[in-house]
Chain A
C-alpha cells in the first residue's frame, strides 16, 4: 500500500492515489494531492467544488451525478476539467477525500 507523507503524518492511499481512511482528510491532504497533479494554487472555486462534494457525500453516502454537481456549483464540465485535470471523479472526488468510484464509472 502506498502512502503520502505530510508534516510528519502518513496517509495511506490506493494504487490510484485515493485516500484509504477518509476520516483523516484535511485541507492539506487536498493541497498535496492537487500538487501531485500539477495544481499548486487551489482557488475559491476548487474549494467550492470540493466542499460541495464532501457535504453531498456526507448526506447521501455517494457522490452526486455529474449533472447535479455542475448545476449546483455553477461550474460547467469544461471548467471542471480545467480546475481538476483528471475530471470530477478522478481529481475532484479524490482531492476531496471521497472513495474511488467503482463499477462502470
Chain B
C-alpha cells in the first residue's frame, strides 16, 4: 500500500517510507537553524479556529473544502509542532498517546500547502495576525527536506544554482546576447532611436535583474524598460554572470532563498554596481527587498523595483509620454508579492494617470487585491494548470471580466503567465501586458546619444 504514493504534482525523489519520521527530523533541523520557534510558540498559544480567513481566501471560496481554509491548514503544522517540539506536548502525547503526526498529515500537507498560492490575503483579515503565508513556506520547506517538492521548481532551482547557465530558464550567455541584439534592432525599427542594453558596465548605479523568462516571453516589457532608462539617462547594466531575479526559495526553501540572494549580491559586487533593480516581477522583488538585508548583513545594497524607479523618473520630469497613445480601457492587477505590504500600490497608478485616460480599478484592488490564482510558484508547475484555472483563477477571471477592460496590466512574470492562460481559458475579451509594454508604445524618444558609453 505504501509503495505507490500518488502526488498532485511531479516529484523527483520522494521519500516513500518512514515519511513521518523524516518529516519530524527535518522539522527539528529547521528549528535548530532558524528563528521559527518563536513564531511557532506564539501561534501555538493563540486560537486557530475562528476561520475569519475562510471568508476571504479565494481558494477556499472556490473549492469549499475545509482543508483549504488557511487556519485549518496552518493548524496541522502547529499541532505537529506542539505535540513533538514542546515539553508539554510531548508529555501529553505520552500520557494520552494522541495527536502525533501521521502519514495522513503528510499527505494532507503536501497537497494543501500547494493548494495555497501564498498570496497572503488571509493575513490582512486575521484578527490574530497569523501569517499563514509564512507557515505555508515553512511547511513546504520541511517537506522539501524529505524530497517532497514539485519537480518543476526543483529542476529550475538546480539549473540556477548548479547549472551551466545559472538561471531558471537555462538561458546561456550567448542566447542572451542574441536576444539583446534582437531587442535593440526592434527598438531602432519601432522607435527610431538607438537604445542599448548595457552588459557588464562597471560601476553602474543600477544592476538590472529581470525574471529571466522575460528574455523568452516579454520583449515589449524589456524594450519599454530599456527606453525609459535610456531616455532618463539612468546608469544601468545587465550583469553577464547573473541575469535572473527569480527566487523560488521564497516559495519552498529558506536555504534556496539565501543562496539565490547571495549569488545576486556577489554579482553586483563583481561589477561594482550600487543598487539592485528588479524588473516586472512580484516574488523576485519581494524576496530581494525583504530578505537581502537578512542574509547580507555586512553591507547594504538597496533593492529597487522598476515600477518605483519609473514612477520617480516621471515625477522628476525625466521622460516624456504621449498622453494620447493609449486609447483602450485599461485595468491594473496588483501582484500579491509587491502590493500586499503596501510597498508598490501607488507608484504604478502614478505612472498610469500620466497617459491612460480610460482606467478602471478592479474590486477589490491595491493591498486587498485578489491573487491571479497562480501565485506561490504554482504557475510554473504545468500539471497544476487545471487547478489554477478552476480554483483561484476562476475568481480572478470573474473579477477581470467585471471591469469590462480591454487591457489588463500585470507587472509580474508570474501573473502575466497565469492571466494570459485565464484569458484564453475563459475566452475573456481582453489582452494582458506589462506596464512597460504600454510605456514602450507611449514614450516619446528624443536623445540620439547612447547612455553609458
Contacts and interface: CB of A to CB of B under 8 A. Distances in A.
Interface of A: 15-16, 59-68, 99, 101-105
Contacts of A65: 179, 182, 215-217, 219
Interface residues of B, number: 37
A15 B175 contact: no
Nearest to B415: A104
A22 to B, nearest CB: 13
B172 A62 contact: yes
Contact of B413 (A62, A64, A99, A104): A104
23 contacts: A60-B172, A60-B174, A61-B172, A62-B172, A62-B175, A64-B179, A64-B182, A66-B216, A66-B219, A67-B186, A102-B168, A102-B380, A103-B169, A103-B213, A103-B380, A104-B211, A104-B213, A104-B379, A104-B380, A104-B413, A104-B414, A104-B417, A105-B216
A46 B414 CA distance: 29
B159 interface: yes
A104 B439 CA distance: 23
A24 B284 CA distance: 37
B339 interface: no
A102 B152 contact: yes
B99 to A, nearest CB: 37
B217 A105 contact: yes
A57 B171 CA distance: 11
A104 B167 CA distance: 11
Contacts of B175: 60-62
B212 interface: yes
B43 interface: no
Contacts of B171: 62
Interface string B269-307: 000000000000100000000000000000000000000
Contacts of B213: 103-105
Most interface-central of B175, B213, B383 (chain A CB within 10 A): B175
B219 A103 contact: no
A99 B10 CA distance: 17
Interface in B132-166: 151-152, 155-156, 159, 165
B389 interface: no
Contacts of A66: 216-217, 219
Nearest to A67: B219
Contacts of B380: 102-104
A102 B182 contact: no
Contact of B174 (A61, A63, A102): A61
A101 B169 CA distance: 6
A27 B260 CA distance: 40
A62 B170 CA distance: 7
Top 6 A-B pairs, shortest CB-CB distance: A103-B168, A62-B175, A103-B169, A61-B172, A67-B219, A60-B175
